[in-house]
Structures are given as structure tokens and as C-alpha cells.
Structure 1
Amino acid sequence: MDIGIALPTMCRGYDRAATLDWCRLAEQGPVASISCGERMAFHNPEMWTTLAAAAAVTERVRIFANLSVLPAHPVALVAKQAATLDVLSAGRFTLGVGVGGRGDDYRSLDSGFERRHDRLDRAVAELRALWAGDLVVEGGAPIGPPCVRPGGPPVLAGALGPKSLARAARWADGVVAFSVGGVPGEIQWSADAARRAWTEAGRDSPRLVSGCFYTLGVAEPDTVLRDFTAEYLGFLGGEAAAGAAASMKTYDAETLHRTLDAAEAAGLDEFILVPGAAELGVLEETLELIASR
């Protein structure tokens, strides 16, 4: 099983130096991918720009958009952004897409929140058509640049529930799930559910990716992780966010090894560690943990 690392873009203190340091150190291995996600109404930097920087300063690791809230954006724009990252990374790019769950992000983009699952289905089909050379405007030119890989980069669906997985099984190359606290039972359940959806759709097994929040290599890692979790999940409401934060345990090597063991036992292709602090010591200790497995 591959292990990827998310850039700490959702953490306070993330800046240019963190971008360069994390990317360059992760490039040395044994990390398999670098990723970050999208939020609009939050303090994080913009996802596509950040991933372009990561692609430019690396040569080996895969670059993963985890994930784009596709129904909130013009599809042609996302097609061009993804094709550009595919070129900048020389074919190392993977696109994760989903509907998201934060109305503020949609409103900040002047986009509707309704029927977003249907809109996602249609948008993925349009993405693939644009990458294949279909025209946006009759008589115009195709959206460029041409992707490195014929047909465009792999597309993974951010799907968890039975309905969203059944839809994803019609068009996705795989699934990217998430267990906030790295709970073994949640990891196994989501992997089984994805495989079941693909089987029912008459397709071969999907690429299976999951991840969790964690913190290592800082003082009082339990407090740091819980504060980070509470802030990130604040859109759920104070009580729900505080409850999730209080349950976090992935702030020491032993617990993280158990989570990674569970991900391997579930048959995942990749597990992504999402840090709760931007200090470089977090990544240094994480690389030691991965190398010890």
C-alpha cells in the first residue's frame, strides 16, 4: 500500500517556505503522493495554484487534487486546470472530485447548492469529453493543453454513502474516502462498500484511497490535533466539531501504525496522512514512521 502526504494547507502558518520545504522533503521519499484539498470560505491557499507549485518543484511523487468540488465550478475551467497540472507534472496528476458539504463554499462562488449530485455526474462526463477534444463553443477551438495521457488524468470520486458510490461506479476510476480519526472499522467499511458498488455495476475493483487527520513531531500533539480538527470541522457547528475533536487519537506513532495496518488489511491502494500542523518536524517524523514499516 502506498502512503501519501497532504500538504498542511489547512493549518495556520502555512506559507511559501512550507510549500517548498514539504514538497522537496517529500520528494526524497518514501512518500507516494502530495495532495491538498479545496475550501473557499476558509483561510487555506487556493488548491490549484498550490498543486501547480508542488508539480513544478518535484519530479517523482504523484500530485493529487483531493478534491475539487466540481459542481461549484465551470466545467471547462476545471478541465483546463486539470490538463495544465497533468502537463506540469508530466502525467503524475490525479483528480479527485466530489460534491462537498459546505454551503458557504458554493455561495462564495455564486453557485447553487441544489441537485449537486446530478450536476457532478454530468460534469465528469463533460470533463472527459473536453479532454478528448470536444468543443465548448461550436466553431471554436478545443480546451487545452492536451493531456499527457490519452483521455486525461484518472478521476477518483469522493464518495462514502451507498447512493453516491453507486453513481460513482458508473464513471470514476476509483474512490477516495476519509476517516477523520483513522478508525479501523470505518476504513474497512468504506473499502467494502466501494468494492460492492463496483461489483454491482459490473466493473473491476476500483482504486481505493482513504486518509485521516494526524499530528506528529510537535509539542503537545494531542492538543494541536484536536484544535486543528475543531477548527476544520467548524462548519458542522460548535458541538459537533468539538465532539469529533475530542475523539482524536492519531497523534502518536503507535496509533498511526494501527491505522495504517488497518488500511492495508482493508486492501487500500493508498492511504493519505493529513497533518494538523505545518511545522516541518511533522513531516520529518512522518517520513521516519513510513520508512520503519
Structure 2
Amino acid sequence: MNVGLGLPISDPAALLDWARRADAGPFTTIALLDRLVYDNPEPLVALAVLAGATTRVRVQTEVLLAPLREPALLAKQAATLDRMSGGRLVLGIGVGGREDDHVAAGTDLRTRGRRLDGQLAVMRRLWSGEPYGDGAGPVGPLPARPGGPELLFGGFQPAALARVARWGDGFLAAAPPSWAGGLIETVHRRWKEAGRSGSPRIVTQVNVALGPEEVVSDARTAMGAYYAFTGRAERMVEGLLTTPEEIRRAIGQYADLGADEVMLYCHGADPGQVDRLADVV
């Protein structure tokens, strides 16, 4: 079972320390969340910096809100990061649900799913070296990985799960084991129905905080603020895993569900968690 780290968003300058510690440890991936109307670093920019400070770990968006962005520029940014990192970019994509993000981006919340499908068609074409069309030629550079960086889709609705088979390489299940199992089964079924060979890569996510009480308290506060818009922030915070035993148990449960990787998402700012979580892993 591969294990990655979701990095906290509260202090962008501290992320270099987190990334270097993760790169020296047993972790396979580092990831960042995405929002527009929030005090978080823009993930593609931040991950480009972190890719330059590391040599081994993959850099992942978890998830990038693609409908907020213009597809040709997004394709160019992703291909550039993938090329310059030696193929280490994993592009986790979702539609998001915050109306204020769409207001700031000038996009329509109600059509975000249809917009994403159109974006994916454009990006796949550009990553293959084909012209943009309508008087515009190819948009380079080509990504390191032929056809584009690895695409994971996050989400819970049928349309989101169907995109895994239609456009993607795998599924990002940001759900507890009790809920993730049904989502993973659906993704595998849709994959087979689409006639895809092999299997989708399954990446799961769980929120963790490991350390003294002040570290756990910091994580709970940050989680509550981030998920306040859902109206279920307290429930999310209650699911935070705070002991080595809980974290090991969750990793085992996700392994039993057939996950290829579990992302331990850290909301607390203390980078010492990287070393403590390395001991757990």
C-alpha cells in the first residue's frame, strides 16, 4: 500500500519543509487542496515550487477545480509542470460546490459538470499534440507522460464516477472506509462497462493529526474553518484520526477495499507530523 501526504494550506512558506521531509521519508505523493475564494495557495503554482524542491514524490492536486479555469491555459500549465517534474504530476480533478468560487471566476455553478466535460476533451487533444482548432495550432509543451498527466477524478455523484471511465486513470475517494467501498465498486463497474482494460487506480483520503494536543487542536480548528461551507463541519472534524492505532487501522481498511494508495491529509501546521506519520507507516 502506497501512502501519501495531503499538505496543510495555512502557511504556504512552510510547505517546502513539509515537502522535503516527505521526499526523504516513505511517502509516495504530496498533495494540495484547491479553492479560489479562500486563504490557500494556488495548487499548481505551489506544487511547481515543491516539485523543484523534491526529487522523488509525486505532486498531486486533490482536487483541482477545473471548471474555474480556461482549458487551454490549464492544459499548458499542467503539461509544463508534468514535463519539468519528470512526469511526477497527478492531476486530481473535481467540479467543486462553492458558489463564491464560481462568482470570482466568472463561471456558472449550475453548468460546471458540462463545462468540465468540454474542458477534458480540449485538454486531452492538446496533450496529444493536436491543434487547438478554429485557427489555433498546437499548445505545447507536450507532457512527460504521453497523452497527459495521470488524471484522477474526485466526487460522489454518478456523473463524477462515470468520468473516471470516460476520461481518467483513476478515482480519488475522499470518504471513510464505510462509504468508500460502494463508490469504489461503482467505479470498477463503470470501468468495465466502458470496455477499459486493466483497472482504475484507486486513491483514498483520510484526515489525520498526530502529535501533542495543540497539534490536534490546530488541525480541528483548520478543518472546521475549511469545511464550514458544507454545513457538516462538526461531523467532518469528528472523523479526524489522531492516534497511530486509528491511522494504521484505516490504512488496513482501505487496503482491504483494494485501494492502491491512501492519502493522509494533514490540516495542522506542525511539520513534525511528517516524521511521526513516517513512523506509523
TM-score by length of 1: 0.90
Are the equivalent residues in 1 in contact too, given 2:94–2:154 (CA < 8 A)? yes
Using the TM superposition, give the Cα deviation of residue 58 of structure 1 relative to its aligned residue in structure 2, in angstroms.
0.9
- Correspondence for 2:189: 196
Are the equivalent residues in 2 in contact too, given 1:173–1:206 (CA < 8 A)? yes
**What CA distance in whole angstroms lies between the structure 2 residues aligned with 1:35 and 1:222?**
20
Q: What root-mean-square deviation, in Å, do the aligned CA atoms of Structure 1 and Structure 2 show?
A: 1.7
Secondary structure of the residue that 1:258 maps to in structure 2?
A: helix
**What CA distance in whole angstroms lies between the structure 2 residues aligned with 1:194 and 1:176?**
10
Is 1:2 matched up with 2:2?
Answer: yes
Are the equivalent residues in 2 in contact too, given 1:136–1:142 (CA < 8 A)? yes
Are the equivalent residues in 2 in contact too, given 1:21–1:280 (CA < 8 A)? yes
- Correspondence for 1:147: 143
Using the TM superposition, give the Cα deviation of residue 136 of structure 1 relative to its aligned residue in structure 2, in angstroms.
3.0
- Correspondence for 2:223: 229
CA deviation profile, 1:251-272 (whole Å, cap 9, x unmatched)? 1111111110101111101111
Q: Find the partner of 1:118 among 101, 114, 120.
A: 114
Secondary structure of the residue that 1:260 maps to in structure 2?
A: helix
- Correspondence for 1:184: 177
Q: Percent identity?
A: 37
Using the TM superposition, give the Cα deviation of residue 220 of structure 1 relative to its aligned residue in structure 2, in angstroms.
4.2
Using the TM superposition, give the Cα deviation of residue 84 of structure 1 relative to its aligned residue in structure 2, in angstroms.
1.0
Secondary structure of the residue that 2:174 maps to in structure 1?
A: coil
Using the TM superposition, give the Cα deviation of residue 80 of structure 1 relative to its aligned residue in structure 2, in angstroms.
0.8
The more displaced of 27-36 and 127-136 is 127-136
Please, which runs of 5 or more residues in structure 1 have no aligned partner? none
**What CA distance in whole angstroms lies between the structure 2 residues aligned with 1:250 and 1:289?**
12
Are the equivalent residues in 2 in contact too, given 1:221–1:251 (CA < 8 A)? no
Q: What code does the residue aligned with 1:130 have?
A: L
Using the TM superposition, give the Cα deviation of residue 132 of structure 1 relative to its aligned residue in structure 2, in angstroms.
1.5
Q: What code does the residue aligned with 1:7 have?
A: L
Using the TM superposition, give the Cα deviation of residue 202 of structure 1 relative to its aligned residue in structure 2, in angstroms.
2.5
Secondary structure of the residue that 2:138 maps to in structure 1?
A: coil
**What CA distance in whole angstroms lies between the structure 2 residues aligned with 1:232 and 1:122?**
29
Is 1:272 matched up with 2:263?
Answer: yes
- Correspondence for 2:164: 168
Are the equivalent residues in 2 in contact too, given 1:229–1:241 (CA < 8 A)? yes
Check 1:128–1:28 CA distance in 2 against 1; reply closer, same or farther (3 A cut): same
**What CA distance in whole angstroms lies between the structure 2 residues aligned with 1:104 and 1:36?**
20
Please, which runs of 5 or more residues in structure 2 have no aligned partner? none
- Correspondence for 1:243: 235
Secondary structure of the residue that 1:148 maps to in structure 2?
A: coil
Using the TM superposition, give the Cα deviation of residue 149 of structure 1 relative to its aligned residue in structure 2, in angstroms.
2.0
Secondary structure of the residue that 1:114 maps to in structure 2?
A: helix
Are the equivalent residues in 2 in contact too, given 1:217–1:284 (CA < 8 A)? no
Pairs aligned (count): 280
Using the TM superposition, give the Cα deviation of residue 24 of structure 1 relative to its aligned residue in structure 2, in angstroms.
0.9
Check 1:122–1:262 CA distance in 2 against 1; reply closer, same or farther (3 A cut): same
Secondary structure of the residue that 1:170 maps to in structure 2?
A: helix
CA deviation profile, 1:224-264 (whole Å, cap 9, x unmatched)? 33322211111123xx222332x224011111111101011
Are the equivalent residues in 2 in contact too, given 1:218–1:281 (CA < 8 A)? no
- Correspondence for 2:69: 73
TM-score by length of 2: 0.93
Q: What code does the residue aligned with 1:81 have?
A: Q
The more displaced of 94-103 and 153-162 is 153-162
